[in-house]
Amino acid sequence: MSIQLSDHFSYKKLLKFTLPSILMMVFTSVYGIVDGLFVSNFAGDIPFKAINLIYPYIMIVTTVGFMFGSGGTALVANTYGEGDKERANRYFSLFVYVAFALGVILAVVSFFLMRPIGALLGAEGEILDCCVLYGRVLMCSLPFAILQYLFQSFCVAAEKPRFGLGVIVAAGCTNMALDAVLVILLPQGLKLMGAAIATAISQTIGGCIPLVYFFCKNSSFLRLGKTKFDGKAIWKACANGSSEFMSNVSMSLVGMLYNLQLLKYAGDDGVAAYGVMMYVSMIFSTIFIGYSIGVSPIISYHDGAGNHEEKKGILKKSLLILLIDSILMLIFSELLSTPLSKLFVGYSETLTNMTVRGLRIFSVSFLFMGFAIFFSSFFTALNDGLTSAIISFLRTLVFQLGAVLLLPLLWDLNGVWISVVVAEVMAVVFSVFFLVLKRKKFHY
């Protein structure tokens, strides 16, 4: 029997319901990392550095999907909890259509501006050419990449988290298979293009399968159909999802600044080392993100239905689950720092040593990261977009920006790695403050 949003959630049921979302996000990050592995080991260090330089911009434009996915899901699930299934479906259809249209516009503009964008991010010469090539290919699939991220949230809201996981597995396996063929077998000058094509095709699959599913008759309460333009609903979804939008944009902007700081303190090798840490962080942080995506529609539903005791119980269970996960992640990241570094940059002993040292410092952030991600998502689920956005803004921009600018002045390269830890600690402190402040208003 499938688990429904209206159920009472024990630890076992909560983990069972959120596990597909966790696996979905982890698999998304893993198949994204495959590009880096193949490019680094078969195409060379210049294409690998180019991907690391242009990827923050790609994340900025795809974050439209996160915004409409998280913000829209909260509104749809809350409306469903209130008992208005028809209006929930109108909202769902509206958000999908608007997100796809924005994706087309962003893709066209970005395609033609990719060279100045790459130059602005610090790319020069051959690295800039690689940035332009990789970025333009991915812009061709941008509308579907946005839908893929959007449906990751809506599949959970539709009580179909396993279907969402299946879509991501299909897209990921396609990407990895095409990487193995295109990156390895194509001539040296075409390997980077092969990696980009593999990712673009996989994103198109990840966006198209759920699009077709929700257009057809299905067993969930959500289905794409006719809708009408509702500026108020779009604004509410955008405002509510602004924390996720802010988080991804800020992380991308800060990532650009990190690259500039690393170019200053460690040269191109610093950018490569940071790229490895971002790949590792991507896997670990997506466990937290996946849990938050999985639990958010449950919180939204019970908030809309007025089931405050259930909502309070989910919050307490979530905090204990996150605490255990955080400790395990710190242990694993410390133990795996050397083999993971060798996997990506084992061709250079100097670069490997730099990456290992940085990763061991960086991994302390995993103790705090999950709580900051969850608290921001928790307020999004309660349709309190402002509080969620403030937490995300402080965590991903203000604290990291200040830390990465100031701490290297004290500790040089180590200061860059420490800045991530400091930012996550500060984010948790402020998140707890808002959690206590809003307790009576939201009855948790």
**The pLDDT of residue 219:** 85
Which of 136-140, 162-166, 274-278 bottoms out in mean pLDDT, i.e. has the lowest? 274-278
Amino acid identity, position 6: S
* Distance of alpha carbon 41 from alpha carbon 186, whole angstroms: 14
pLDDT in tens, 244-289: 677 767 766 777 777 778 778 887 777 777 777 777 777 788 899 8
**What pLDDT, on a 0 to 100 scale, did the predictor assign at position 1?**
53
- Average pLDDT of the chain is 87
Please give the Cα distance from 382 to 394 (Å, whole number).
19
Give residue-wise pLDDT tens across range 394-442.
888 889 888 888 998 888 888 888 988 998 999 999 999 999 999 888 8
pLDDT for the residue 57: 87
Please write the tens of the pLDDT for every residue from 221-251: 899 999 999 889 999 888 877 776 777 677 6
**What's the chain's length in residues?**
444
Q: Could you give the CA distance from residue 66 to residue 242 in angstroms, rounded to a whole number? A: 9
pLDDT band at 84 (very low <50, low <70, confident <90, very high): confident
Confidence of residue 77 (pLDDT cuts 50, 70, 90): confident
Q: Report how far apart, in Å, the C-alpha atoms of 394 and of each of 102, 170, 283, 296, 423 are.
A: 27, 36, 22, 21, 8
pTM above 0.85, yes or no: no
Q: Which of 175, 178, 171, 104 lies closest to 141, judged by CA?
A: 104
Q: How far is CA 239 from the centre of its chain?
A: 18
The alpha carbon of 130 is separated from its chain's Cα centroid by a whole number of angstroms, namely 24
Domain boundaries, the chain: 11-442
Tokens (6 digits) for 4 = 């429904």
Tokens 């956005």 -> residue:
389
- Segment 291-303 mean pLDDT: 91
> For the stretch 365-402, what's the b/e string if a residue is b when 16 or more beta carbons lie within 10 angstroms of its beta carbon?
bbbbbbbbbbbbbbbbbbbbbebbbbbbbbbbbbbbbe
Q: Are 326 and 386 in contact (CB under 8 A)?
A: no
What is the percent of the chain where pLDDT is above 90?
36
What integer pLDDT is reported at residue 393 of this predicted model? 83
**pLDDT (0 to 100) of residue 362:** 86
Residue with tokens 């790229």: 275
The amino acid present at 5, given as its one-letter code, is: L
pLDDT tens digits along 20-41: 989 888 887 777 677 777 887 7
Q: What percent of the chain has pLDDT over 70?
A: 98
Residue of 147 and 346 predicted with greater confidence: 147
Task: Give the Å distances, CA to CA, from 97 to 104, 341, 362, 413.
Answer: 11, 42, 39, 45
Range with the lowest mean pLDDT among 40-49, 57-66, 353-362? 40-49
pLDDT at 252: 67
CA angle 101, 107, 113 (to 5 degrees): 140
